[in-house]
Structure formats: C-alpha cells, structure tokens
Structure 1
Amino acid sequence: MAKEGADMTEETEYMIDKNVKKEIDNVETSGNAKEMRAVILSGFGGLNKLRVTKKAMPEPQDGEVKIRVKTCGLNFLDLMVRQGTIDNPPKPPLVPGFECSGIVESVGENTKGFEIGDRVMAFVNYDAWAEVVCAPVDFVYKMPDEMTFAEAAAFSLNFVAAYMMLFEVANLREGMSVLVHSAGGGVGQAVAQLCSTVPNVTVFGIASCFKHAAIRDSVAHLFDRNVDYIQEVKKISPEGVDIVLDCLCGENTGKGLSLLKPLGTYILYGASNMVTGETKSFFSFAKSWWQVEKVNPIKLYEENKVIAGFSLLNLLFKQGRCGLVKSVMDKLLCLYEEKKIKPVVDSLWALEEVKEAMQRIHDRGNIGKLILDVEKSPTPLMASDSTETSEAGEEEEEPEGDNDSKERMPFIH
C-alpha cells in the first residue's frame, strides 16, 4: 500500500507539471504576436522550475515605454520568489525579475519624457528577465552616457535601497557608525560607497572570510559572519554603532538591537536566513522566525532605540512613492557622474545560465551584483541546462555527478 501511495504521488506530481507546461505553451502560442525569449518560472520550487522559452512580446500601453532589454539584475529576493517564500506572489507561470536596462524601442500614447533610442534603466514589478519589457514612465530613468548596461542593472535597486535606508530612514550624518551584513553583496557594497561620501563615517562589515581580501578597502572593519561579531565590534566601539542594516533576520535581529547606541536605528530589509536549501523549508522558516527577538516597545522606549523595516519594491509598487524614489535616483546619478559611487558587478550570465547564476547567489559566492546579459551566448557546458527538452517536452535530467564538472562562472566583470 505504501508503494502504491508513492506511485500515486509521483503520478499526481507528473500530471501537475504537465498541466503547468500546457498553460505556459498556451500563453506562448496564442495569437500571432511577435515572440521573445524569456525566463519562465513554471511553479514554486527548485532550480528545475526555471527555463528559457519563447512567449508573446508585450506592447506599450498608455504612459509606458517598450524597452529592448540588454541586462537584468539578479537579487537574493529572486531566490525567495522562486521558492515561493514571499507574501502573495503572483500565480505561476511567471517571468521573474525586478530591474533591467536597455534601449527604448517604442512609446505608448500619452507618454512623455522618453524617445526611441534612449538608454534607460527601469524597475519592473516582475517580467524583467526577458528580451523586451514594458514599464510605466514613473519607473524608468535615463542612464548617464558613461554608464554601461551592466552597471545600470546593478545600480537601481541596490543603490536606491542603500541610500534610502541610510539617509531617509536612519538619517546618516558625519561621524556616525554603520554595521552592514552581507558586506560583499550588491547592497553591502553600495552602502559602503555611500558611507564614504559622508565625512568620518565608520563602516563595520560582516561577510564570509573568502570575500575579505576583495572588499577590505571598502569598509573600515571586517568580521567573519561565522564568529561572534558582537564582541569584536564592542572591542573597537564599546558603545556599539549608530545604524545596523540587516538582510538576514533570525538571530541577527537580537544581535543587531544589542549593538545599537542610544538613538541608534536597526533596519531589517531582508530575511535570507530563511533560505537554506534549494526549495522552501518550513523548518528553516520556523527556526528563523523563532530566533527573532520579540520586540518590547517599553524596552525600546527605555533604551532610546529605533527598529525599522524597509522594502523598496513595496514602496514603489504597493505604496505609490515613485516620486520620492525618483528624487533619490536623481541624487544618486549626480554622485555617479561625480565618480563618487560606482556599481560593483560580480559576473555576467546568459539567460540560459540563470540556474547557475542563482546557485552562485545561494552559495553566497558573489562580490557585488550578478547580471543576466540578454545578448550573451551561454557557455557550452551550460547551454543545455535551462533549455534542452526531450521529445515529449519534458526537461532532461542531468547525469549524476555532472554538476561538479560544469563551469560555474563563465565571465567575471
């Protein structure tokens, strides 16, 4: 009976996957619309839920621009989307991705401020990982002439988030101190650069040991993420720090609050500790949630501490603060043109290499931002991984042991 139940489960899962694939195919082949390549997430789960395929090309509506995409940003949040660990995700199949850069190909009616041929970067509420994207003008920004498309895809989300947390939420000023987790990542590097634009700001960075040599010059004090960094920070600054930027959550929440000086600000802007394996884990989610220190408002009052949260995408797409974000982007572009800040690009990947790129982020192997380059040809060893299918339309399984022989980093910028 147990074997019969297992067979039924496998058969049910097979039929679900087949139905999802049929739904994708129906979306892709409907009508006579022009087609484009895009990364499709067929369902929430592991890397095998991603594939590159053709789908109908969108056309701009009123107030939108149509962008021929050159590059897309890849963030840890995209891993959480794939696993289905975010609140109220859209129903798959869907095209992931929240930021891109490219060239304006056409504009919709009543669209002002952009012309065909403009080089732009844009925030997108999903759908970014494709050859063509349509976005409302409120979320699109012209690129400086000297900025590359890879830099643009590494710029918008990371630097806007870092700037708003530091200056809009925490009110960073001269002489303050900042502790940032994942100091080697895209946001971490943006935080370090922005802190350097304010006199006498001390940056404490937490990162894996193997990243220290590469990022040592960007932060004043570096600590291994696996050691008791609280005691190490207090040896240097007994009172603690003014600002803590936490993208991990879990046990780091209590540690961050304990490190705050009076009038200090702790900001949670991610929860990567909830992602442990390739697929969603209820145990990891529950463990991380359990480890979060329960905040007592009376204690905050007595200790003169501030706890805050920040989500740039919610601010843009749910709370309608695109005007504020635009003003921040204008300030950031001035800093870029003054050569005071510059995005750090870890590596470039073809669309067909999206699984390997995601694995690099999951392994916390990147220093700076991973970029999907729409025009890049995949490395031959990777080319079949995201696109090859059997005659029945099912994804081919890789032979065991083959992963170790694959090149994981085709191009480092």
Structure 2
Amino acid sequence: MAKEGADMTEETEYMIDKNVGKETENVESSGDAKEMRAVILAGFGGLNKLRVTKKAMPEPQDGEVKIRVKACGLNFLDLMVRQGTIDNPPKPPLVPGFECSGIVESVGENIKGFEIGDRVMAFVNYNAWAEVVCTPVDFVYKMPDEMTFAEAAAFSLNFVAAYMMLFEVANLREGMSVLVHSAGGGVGQAVAQLCSTVPNVTVFGISSCFKHAAIRDSVTHLFDRNVDYIQEVKKVSPQGVDILLDCLCGENTGKGLSLLKPLGTYILYGASNMVTGETKSFFSFAKSWWQVEKVNPIKLYEENKVIAGFSLLNLLFKQGRCSLVKSVMDKLLCLYNQKKIKPVVDSLWALEEVKEAMQRIHDRGNIGKLILDVEKSPTPLVTTTNLICFFLVTCRNEVIRKHTSTDRAVK
C-alpha cells in the first residue's frame, strides 16, 4: 500500500512553482485518509500547467475496483492531452493518465474475481496519475507473480496495442516483414518482441541514431529517422514491407503507403509529428495535415493496399470492446509467463517529476516506457543557490584550516 505522509526531498528545478511546493507539503502533513496526491492539469498548454496537489480520494461505485496505485504509465499521448491537441478532451482541471498498476484496496458492489490485496494493472479513462484510482472491473487485470508494478504499468497499453495492430488488424504471419517507427519507444519495443514470437519475421526499425546501440539487437534492420529510410528499406527489400506501423503521421503517411507490398497494411496509431514545441502549434498541426497524402480509394483498389487506423483507448472507452481486449491480454500474459516478452522500462520518476519525465518523452530520449512511481521521492537537483552555498562553506573551511595551521606553526 502506498506510503502516506512520507517525507519529501527538495523540489526539483522543474517544480519551481511555489504553490506546488505548498500543496505538496499540505498533502504530506495531512492526516485525512480521504485525501490523496494527484497530478493536476490546470489547463491546456505547457509544462507549467501541471502540478501535484491534494484531491478528494474516490470511492468505488457499483462495478468498480478501487486501486492503491504503485506505478503509472506515461505516453506520448499524454503530451497531446496536456497541449489539448486530441479530439474532445475533458474540460480541465483534470488528472491525466490512462494506465496504472497497484493493489486492490476495496471493491464496489457486484464485483467478482477480485479481492482486497490483489496485485493488478488497469486501464483508466483519465485519472491514473494519482495515489488512488477507481475504474470499472472490465478494465482491470491480475498481474503475474513475477511482474513488478513498474513492468505492469509499462505492459498493458503498449503490448495490447502492439498485439492488436499486428495480429487483429494486419494478420501477421510467418515470413512477413514489419516496419515500425519510433522503434525505441514503448510500443516499438513491444512490436519488436511480439514479432520475434513468429518465425522468420523481418523487422525494420526507424529511430533516432543515438538509440541504435541500445536497440539494435531487437530488430532485424535499423535506420536513422533523419535519413531517407525509404531507399534504405528498398535496398534490403525492393518490393517493400507487408505491415507498416506509423505513430508520426504527416509526410510519413505517404512514404508508408509507398513502401507497402501488394496486400500490405499501413496502420496509423498516432500523430506525434503534430507536437513540436511545448505548447500546441497550429502551424505544426496544419503542416502535418497538409503533408498527409490524400488517400484515393481507387488507388488502393488498383494497388491492392490496405490503410487502417487504431486507437486502443477509443476501442475500450468509446466502442465497448472490453471482451476482445481481455482475450488479447490473456494471450499476452501467457507469453509473459513463458518469458517470450517483457516490458522495457526506461526510467522511474516521482509524481513531482512529471514535468521532467514529459520533457524526456518530448525530446524522444526514452528507450522503452517512462513510469511515474507513486512512492518515489523526487531526486534533488543541484541548484545555483546550492552551488554558491557549497562554495562559500568550502572557502570558509579552507580559511579556518589555514589559520589553524599558521597558529600551530607560530606556537
């Protein structure tokens, strides 16, 4: 169970908002068990719209499970939520986050299959970045005994999305080829691992060159995202690829369609090219929109190509396909127990470090999944003030030492 009233270290440089510090202190000094810490998005915009504060703790309604959160997943989609670039976002203030792991603290009425103390992972329709969440039982899954809370928070969204795109949408089979953008990210690494469970699948990975050393062994061929990867792929496979997974959109849509073999499938599951600066950019949005090749159904018919879109969260929360997702999760947990797949965790961050974690994703610096660890204390950063104090103390000690040595010599 998450520790309440834990001592916190000094706020990091990214959390310079004085109100944030005051709110955090109030939470920790509070003995009210019905309040919790949570990340609040006060309004759409930059990193300064995020803060950690106290919030009323939710209680499970009929058909819901209350979870004491241990870890939360952080995705590129969360940056788009913060900027307000997604369709029909809830009105702020809101608690971001779509996935978490933790321990069942209580259950609502008409709940079967879960008991207090169960270790679980869950999808949440927002509100995941908090000490406690309540979510419908259909979105909750028991964790394997060997799985850590950080792994569980990195598992559900990435692996379910990767599996459904590969096997439910594109029908991946032996001997096929797959190209995945952002191969070093959470979904990209999940795609690479799942492809390895099918014989003779060739995986083309596109990523920033500084990630290549770390992920080279996870894919068959690896190319720099800043070079003409189309020509590089065609040198290896002149006919192109069978499946292309695109989380970028923009100009990559046309490139992806041009790389498809006959009967190949292009799947769009993100639009990260629309995120360029810290806040929403109408220029970037318009540029990505106009760069998308306007798809002509007649051309698809003539070239025998398939274009598809995939949104796991819409499938769960808007289209009611919980039973399908559960069947996929069962298959994935079987593969995990067989040690054929394992989520890649990039790093752990305290709730108070959410701004820094988001910046790391924005800079495309992560390899695997970033996790918000609810029980982790922020790591203090060396500020300019601290450096000056350290310098002055060092100088003072040196002066004292010299005077002491001089006095001894005179005596």
Query: Which bracket does the TM-score occupy, shorter chain normalised?
Result: 0.7 to 0.9
Q: Structure 2 length as normaliser, TM-score?
A: 0.86
Partner of 1:92: 92
Select between 334-343 and 106-115 the one with higher mean Cα deviation: 106-115
Alignment of 1:199-214 (within 5 A): 199-214=199-214
Runs of 4+, deviation exceeding 4 Å = 1-33, 382-386, 396-408
Structure 1 residues 89 and 2: alpha-carbon distance in aligned structure 2, compared to 1, 3 A threshold: closer
In structure 2, C-alpha distance between the alignment counterparts of 1:6 and 1:132, rounded to whole Å: 16
In structure 2, C-alpha distance between the alignment counterparts of 1:71 and 1:128, rounded to whole Å: 9
In structure 2, C-alpha distance between the alignment counterparts of 1:402 and 1:251, rounded to whole Å: 67
In structure 2, C-alpha distance between the alignment counterparts of 1:218 and 1:339, rounded to whole Å: 15
Q: Structure 1 residue 15: deviation in Å?
A: 22
Q: Residues 35 and 54 of structure 2 are in contact (CA less than 8 Å); yes or no, is this contact kept in structure 1? A: yes
Q: Residues 33 and 56 of structure 1 are in contact (CA less than 8 Å); yes or no, is this contact kept in structure 2? A: no
**SS, match of residue 66 in structure 1:** strand
> Can you list the C-alpha shifts for 1:5-58, whole angstroms capped at 9, x where unaligned?
999999999999999999999999999871000000000000000000000000
Q: Residues 96 and 128 of structure 2 are in contact (CA less than 8 Å); yes or no, is this contact kept in structure 1? A: yes
In structure 1, C-alpha distance between the alignment counterparts of 2:190 and 2:154, rounded to whole Å: 10
Q: Structure 1 residue 126: deviation in Å?
A: 0.1
Q: Residues 186 and 369 of structure 2 are in contact (CA less than 8 Å); yes or no, is this contact kept in structure 1? A: yes
In structure 1, C-alpha distance between the alignment counterparts of 2:319 and 2:147, rounded to whole Å: 29
> Can you list the C-alpha shifts for 1:364-404, whole angstroms capped at 9, x where unaligned?
00000000000001011299999xxxxxxxxx999999999
Q: Residues 64 and 108 of structure 2 are in contact (CA less than 8 Å); yes or no, is this contact kept in structure 1? A: yes
In structure 2, C-alpha distance between the alignment counterparts of 1:74 and 1:173, rounded to whole Å: 31
Partner of 1:263: 263
**RMSD, aligned α-carbons:** 10.5
Q: Residues 2 and 374 of structure 2 are in contact (CA less than 8 Å); yes or no, is this contact kept in structure 1? A: no
Q: Residues 39 and 51 of structure 1 are in contact (CA less than 8 Å); yes or no, is this contact kept in structure 2? A: yes
Q: Residues 12 and 380 of structure 2 are in contact (CA less than 8 Å); yes or no, is this contact kept in structure 1? A: no
Structure 1 residues 53 and 234: alpha-carbon distance in aligned structure 2, compared to 1, 3 A threshold: same
Structure 1 residues 120 and 264: alpha-carbon distance in aligned structure 2, compared to 1, 3 A threshold: same
Partner of 1:29: 29
Q: Residues 5 and 28 of structure 2 are in contact (CA less than 8 Å); yes or no, is this contact kept in structure 1? A: no
Name the larger-Rg structure: 2
In structure 1, C-alpha distance between the alignment counterparts of 2:139 and 2:407, rounded to whole Å: 36
Q: Structure 1 residue 228: deviation in Å?
A: 0.3
> Can you list the C-alpha shifts for 1:262-319, whole angstroms capped at 9, x where unaligned?
0000000000000000000000000000000000000000000000000000000000
Structure 1 residues 243 and 44: alpha-carbon distance in aligned structure 2, compared to 1, 3 A threshold: same
Structure 1 residues 222 and 99: alpha-carbon distance in aligned structure 2, compared to 1, 3 A threshold: same
Structure 1 residues 5 and 336: alpha-carbon distance in aligned structure 2, compared to 1, 3 A threshold: closer
Structure 1 residues 274 and 174: alpha-carbon distance in aligned structure 2, compared to 1, 3 A threshold: same
Structure 1 residues 301 and 365: alpha-carbon distance in aligned structure 2, compared to 1, 3 A threshold: same
Q: Residues 23 and 53 of structure 2 are in contact (CA less than 8 Å); yes or no, is this contact kept in structure 1? A: no
In structure 2, C-alpha distance between the alignment counterparts of 1:17 and 1:36, rounded to whole Å: 20
Q: Residues 245 and 269 of structure 1 are in contact (CA less than 8 Å); yes or no, is this contact kept in structure 2? A: yes
In structure 2, C-alpha distance between the alignment counterparts of 1:86 and 1:403, rounded to whole Å: 66
> Can you list the C-alpha shifts for 1:71-125, whole angstroms capped at 9, x where unaligned?
0000000000000000000000000000000000111111111000000000000
**SS, match of residue 126 in structure 1:** coil
In structure 1, C-alpha distance between the alignment counterparts of 2:214 and 2:88, rounded to whole Å: 37
In structure 1, C-alpha distance between the alignment counterparts of 2:385 and 2:355, rounded to whole Å: 8
> Can you list the C-alpha shifts for 1:131-190, whole angstroms capped at 9, x where unaligned?
000011100000000000000000000000000000000000000000000000000000
Q: Residues 177 and 202 of structure 2 are in contact (CA less than 8 Å); yes or no, is this contact kept in structure 1? A: yes
> Can you list the C-alpha shifts for 1:203-236, whole angstroms capped at 9, x where unaligned?
0000000000000000000000000000000000
Structure 1 residues 2 and 198: alpha-carbon distance in aligned structure 2, compared to 1, 3 A threshold: closer
**SS, match of residue 4 in structure 2:** helix
In structure 2, C-alpha distance between the alignment counterparts of 1:284 and 1:90, rounded to whole Å: 23
**SS, match of residue 9 in structure 1:** coil
Structure 1 residues 25 and 88: alpha-carbon distance in aligned structure 2, compared to 1, 3 A threshold: farther
Extract unaligned runs of 5+ from structure 1: 387-395
Q: Residues 381 and 406 of structure 1 are in contact (CA less than 8 Å); yes or no, is this contact kept in structure 2? A: no
Structure 1 residues 305 and 37: alpha-carbon distance in aligned structure 2, compared to 1, 3 A threshold: same
Structure 1 residues 223 and 13: alpha-carbon distance in aligned structure 2, compared to 1, 3 A threshold: closer
In structure 1, C-alpha distance between the alignment counterparts of 2:141 and 2:338, rounded to whole Å: 18
Structure 1 residues 399 and 299: alpha-carbon distance in aligned structure 2, compared to 1, 3 A threshold: farther
**SS, match of residue 141 in structure 1:** strand
In structure 1, C-alpha distance between the alignment counterparts of 2:376 and 2:300, rounded to whole Å: 51
In structure 2, C-alpha distance between the alignment counterparts of 1:204 and 1:102, rounded to whole Å: 35
Structure 1 residues 322 and 385: alpha-carbon distance in aligned structure 2, compared to 1, 3 A threshold: farther
Structure 1 residues 169 and 384: alpha-carbon distance in aligned structure 2, compared to 1, 3 A threshold: farther
Extract unaligned runs of 5+ from structure 2: 387-395
Q: Structure 1 length as normaliser, TM-score?
A: 0.86
What is the identity percentage for the equivalent residue pairs of Structure 1 and Structure 2?
Answer: 91
Q: Residues 12 and 381 of structure 2 are in contact (CA less than 8 Å); yes or no, is this contact kept in structure 1? A: no
Structure 1 residues 305 and 14: alpha-carbon distance in aligned structure 2, compared to 1, 3 A threshold: closer
In structure 2, C-alpha distance between the alignment counterparts of 1:102 and 1:259, rounded to whole Å: 42
In structure 2, C-alpha distance between the alignment counterparts of 1:257 and 1:153, rounded to whole Å: 33
Matched length? 401
Structure 1 residues 4 and 298: alpha-carbon distance in aligned structure 2, compared to 1, 3 A threshold: farther
Structure 1 residues 99 and 261: alpha-carbon distance in aligned structure 2, compared to 1, 3 A threshold: same
In structure 2, C-alpha distance between the alignment counterparts of 1:209 and 1:407, rounded to whole Å: 61
Q: Residues 251 and 288 of structure 2 are in contact (CA less than 8 Å); yes or no, is this contact kept in structure 1? A: yes
In structure 2, C-alpha distance between the alignment counterparts of 1:209 and 1:135, rounded to whole Å: 40
Partner of 1:183: 183
Structure 1 residues 405 and 343: alpha-carbon distance in aligned structure 2, compared to 1, 3 A threshold: farther
Structure 1 residues 213 and 297: alpha-carbon distance in aligned structure 2, compared to 1, 3 A threshold: same
